[in-house]
Amino acid sequence: DVKVTQSSRYLVKRTGEKVFLECVQDMDHENMFWYRQDPGLGLRLIYFSYDVKMKEKGDIPEGYSVSREKKERFSLILESASTNQTSMYLCASGQLTQPQHFGDGTRLSIL
Amino acid sequence: DQQVKQNSPSLSVQEGRISILNCDYTNSMFDYFLWYKKYPAEGPTFLISISSIKDKNEDGRFTVFLNKSAKHLSLHIVPSQPGDSAVYFCAATYSGAGSYQLTFGKGTKLSVIP
C-alpha cells in the first residue's frame, strides 16, 4: 500500500511566522502535490512537482512556496503566515497513469 | 471559472437505497475522471475512475457513468450503507497534463440514514 505521511496532524502558528509542512511518500512516485481544502471550496491545488527540484504553480500559489530536494519528500512553505491561510492542507503523490494517493492532512491554524 | 461542478452540496439517502452523486465538467479536454471519498480528519481515498473511451465502469457496489456529450458523470452506490457516509469529490484530468494534475469539484456530502 502507498503511504503518504504528513509530519503534523494539527499545527498552530502565529501571523507572520514562516511555516513548513512536510510530506513523505514511500512509493517512489514522480509526482507530488499540495492542496488546501476549505468548506464549500473543495480541494484546490497550490503547487505540484513532477521531479526532484522541479515545481509548478497550481491554482492558488500566492503566499506559498515549495521545495523538493529528494524524490520522496515535498515541503510546503508559508513564507509569512496570514490568518487566511488557516486551512486543511493535503499532500498527495502519484504516477502518470495512477490515481493520486493522499496523506491524512494537516489542520493548520494561524492566529 | 469552475471546470468541475458538483451542484449538490449534500445528499441524504436511506440505507439500502441507491445513492446518485452527480458531476458536470466544462473542459472538453478532460478525458479521465475519478471519484474520491473523504471521511472527516482523513485524506481523500480513491474510489473509482473512468476513461473517456468508456461510458460505464463498475466496481462492486460502485458504478460510474460518463455522458461525454452532456459533459456529465455520475456515481451510483447500490445498496447504500451507513459506512458510505462521507464527502465525495469528483475529479478530472486530461492526458496532456503530463504530471497528472487533477481538477476537483467542491464535493457532495452523502449521509446514509440507517
- Report the pLDDT value the prediction gives residue B97, as an integer from 0 to 100: 61
| Nearest C-alpha neighbor of B84 from the set B66, B58, B62 | B62
The alpha-carbon gap from B98 to the nearest alpha carbon of chain A, in Å, equals: 7
Could you count the other beta carbons within 10 Å of the beta carbon of residue A111? 10
Residue B95 has pLDDT above 80, yes or no: no
Q: What is the mean pLDDT of residues B50-68?
A: 96
Is the CB of B42 less than 8 angstroms away from the CB of A104?
yes
Amino acid identity for residue A107 in this structure:
R
Is the CB of B106 less than 8 angstroms away from the CB of A58?
no
Q: Does A39 touch chain B (CB under 8 A)?
A: no
Contact list, B42 vs chain A (CB under 8 Å): 104-105
Q: What is the mean pLDDT of residues B78-105?
A: 88
Q: What is the mean pLDDT of residues B14-29?
A: 96
Residue A108 has pLDDT above 60, yes or no: yes
- End-to-end Cα distance, chain A: 36
pLDDT category of residue B99 using cuts at 50, 70 and 90: low
Out of B9, B34, B106, whose CB is closest to A99?
B34
Give me the residue label for grid cell 492526458: B95
Q: Which three cell numbers stand for residue B2?
A: 469552475
CA distances from B73 to A70, A83, B63, B92 (A): 38, 36, 10, 10
Out of B42, B99, B107, whose CB is closest to A42?
B107
Look over chain B and give the mean of its residue pLDDT values, rounded to a whole number: 93
List all residues of chain A from 60 to 99 with a beta carbon under 8 Å from chain B. 90, 92, 94-99
**Chain A residue with minimal CA distance to B102?**
A45
**Chain A residue with minimal CA distance to B33?**
A99
- Report the pLDDT value the prediction gives residue B84, as an integer from 0 to 100: 97
Judged by phi (left if over 0) then psi (alpha if -120 to 50, else beta), residue B26 lies in: alpha
Element (H, E) at A77: strand A73-78
Taking the C-alpha atoms of residue A39 and residue A59, their distance in angstroms, rounded to an integer, is 17
Is the CB of B99 less than 8 angstroms away from the CB of A50?
yes
